[in-house]
Structure 1
Amino acid sequence: MGLNTLDLTNRRGIITGAGQGIGRALALEFGRRGGHLLLVGRQLATLTETARLVALEGGTTEVLVEDLTTPGAVDRIAQTVASWRTVDLLVNNAGNVRAGRLELTTDADVHSMIDLNLTAPILLTKTLLPLLRQSGNARGSILLNIASGIALVGLPFYSVYAATKSGIAQFGEALRRELMGTGVHVATVYPGATDTAMMTSQNAGSDLGWGRRSLDDVITDVMVGLAAGEHEINTAPEGRREMQRLNISDPLAVDAALAPSLEALELAVRDHRSI
């Protein structure tokens, strides 16, 4: 659905959750294209390693250790980039997951997912939007939100996570329409199961519909789609896309397809936790 190609070189901006996984991989991609990036995350050691790897690719970085859910975090990020001449990239990637039956999920885990996956990126985008708009007057700014394939097919034992990821997807869709003509390109990524550290505690495999793609393949899809000016970038494998299409045309058929494996799926995902 993209109409105009995007120049991804020499971007200056913020990547949250930059210490590992998709966040680190995107930092490397923008770094090798000459980017200057503020790497935001909770662990200094992992951010420092990302910064080292970005430098090897030719990019430059600043590091900010920050829990996005704490009071003042968004303002501290904004203050860090306030002196930059250009801010034309924001990647809302930080997120966490806690799988399992809803009634067994603690209130703290519910709040943790909502606060980091949904509230934080909305507030960060709101705060940085004036800078993105100002920088977008030249060649266009990029707002990249990392949702999930679960935003397209709500899967059992991921009800709260699905709520947050479908929320950020709809946030992006509405904001894209709000920002038409401003020079801010809003894109949403829908990763399927990806081989990252976030998935190490999840034991569902291909037999349960959770075949994982390599991080390199997913990031390639993201960068190709972004460069092509796409607004919706789906990195799911074809098998999952079949379920996504079925979920549009006949959602009860998806229910029926999942029903026989519910018990096995619950056992496989009940320890999936990245909080």
Structure 2
Amino acid sequence: MDLNNRRGIVTGAGQGIGQALALDFAAKGAHLLLVGRKDETLQQTADLVQAAGGTSEILVQDLGKTDAADRVAEAVKSWDTIDLLVNNAGNVRAGRLEESTAAEVTAMIDLNLTAPVLLTQALLPQLRTSGAANGSLILNISSEIALVAMPFYAVYAATKSGLAAFGEAMRRELHGTGVHVATVYPGATDTAMMSTQNADWERRPVADVVTQVMTGLVAGEHEINASAPDGRGLQQLNAADPLAVDAAMAPGLADMEAAVKDHVSI
């Protein structure tokens, strides 16, 4: 896949994986709409995009709001080409399900799953047009938790698994249209989103994750496992014998709960 001179949208572009992806596309000549909740962080990304060789516009928008997809679509309505959509924005609230508020549950579902579905729907006509001409890309940032659902992350796991299934279905729906749909499964990554949890999980540098993503896209991959190599054995065991994973996790549940109880980005 040729990633040069893309024109498109990156959500959650103010920090972490979203920002790093924006900069990699910028280095290849991209023009991007940077979407996020904070003007300050988006401006920082915009400055970095320019320094990297790209150009950008900014849209301050909470994608969890009901009209967010329409606002994004309106912001790029005049663009001649839209051949990139990066559905990256997400949030998390860990802990026992019964201790989560309804607002926290809804916030995860709205941002992690409903928003990318509605945003893809709103932009799909333009992505199809660009796909038929020169190929376009929908990039969904799921999570390793879609491969191994972790205790105390029930809703987050549900949203990220849902996003992965959405990508798989859309890949098949769009077969032959020139719209490439790819799903990324990062594991624990050294981002601000991970700063409030203390589990003993290896955190990969953002640069390593994004390099793997871009390399996978160039190779035409649709499923990009960007988790730490040390976790692949557990993923394989979960696919083959999930009850064995249950048994392996059971002795450490109390420690895990204590380590992640303050993990929140909402």
Alpha-carbon distance, 1:245 to partner? 0.3
Show the counterpart of 1:94.
Answer: 89
1:92-113 deviation per Cα after TM superposition (whole angstroms, max 9, x unaligned)? 0000000000110110000000
Match of 2:75 among 74, 80, 98: 80
Aligned to 1:46: 41
- Is 1:66 matched up with 2:51? no
Q: 2:133 is paired with a residue of what secondary structure?
A: coil
The Cα of 1:71 is off from its aligned counterpart by: 3.0
Match of 1:233 among 195, 216, 224: 224
1:109 to 87, 90, 104: 104
Given the alignment, which residue of 180, 186, 197 partners 1:185?
Answer: 180
In the aligned structure 2, how far is the partner of 1:256 from the partner of 1:239?
Answer: 19
Amino acid at match of 1:73: A
In the alignment, which of 148, 151, 154 is matched to residue 149 of structure 2? 154
- Which residue identity does 1:162 align to in structure 2? A
Letter in 1 for 2:229: E
The structural deviation recorded for 1:76 is 1.2
The answer to whether residue 214 in structure 2 is matched with residue 223 in structure 1 is yes
Distance, in Å, in 1 between the alignment partners of 2:26 and 2:80 is 18
CA distance in 1, matches of 2:143, 2:65: 24
Hey, what's the Cα distance between the residues in 1 that align with 2:195 and 2:107?
19
* Mapped partners of 2:230, 2:251: distance in 1: 18
C-alpha displacement of 1:127? 0.6
Partner of 2:236: 245
Which of 135, 156, 159 in structure 2 is aligned with 1:164? 159
- Residue 192 (structure 2) aligned to one of 192, 197, 201: 197
Residue 273 in structure 1 maps to residue 238 in structure 2:
no
Q: In terms of mean alpha carbon deviation, does 65-74 or 192-201 score higher? A: 65-74
* AA matched with 2:105: V
Supply the distance in 2 between the matched residues of 1:160 and 1:120 (Cα, whole angstroms).
Answer: 15
Paired residue total: 266
- Identical pairs, percent: 68
Provide the residue aligned with 2:135 in structure 1: 140
Question: Counterpart of 1:262?
Answer: 253
- Residues 146-197 of structure 1 show CA distances to partners (whole Å, capped at 9, x for unaligned) of 0000001000000000000000000000010000000100000000000000
Q: Offset at 1:74? A: 1.0
Moved more, 68-77 or 18-27: 68-77
Unmatched tracts of structure 2, length 5 or more:
none
In 2: Cα distance, 1:147 partner to 1:162 partner: 9
Q: Which runs of 4+ in 1 moved over 4 A?
A: none
Which of these residues, 113, 122, 129, is aligned with residue 118 of structure 1? Answer: 113
Whichever residue aligns with residue 197 of structure 1, its letter is: A
Q: Secondary structure at the match of 2:81?
A: coil
Alpha-carbon distance between aligned partners in 1 of 2:64 and 2:144, rounded to the nearest angstrom = 24
> 1 CA distance for matches of 2:64 and 2:154?
21
CA distance in 1, matches of 2:217, 2:5: 15
State the Cα distance separating 1:52 from its structure 2 match.
Answer: 0.2
Deviation at 1:258, TM superposition (A): 0.7
Alignment partner, residue 175 of structure 1: 170
C-alpha separation in 2, matches of 1:181 and 1:25: 30
The code of the aligned residue for 2:93 comes to R
Aligned-pair distance for 1:69? Answer: 1.6
Determine the structure 2 residue equivalent to 1:211. Answer: 202
Gaps of 5+ in 1: 1-5
CA offsets, 1:228-254, max 9 Å, x none? 110000011222111000001111111
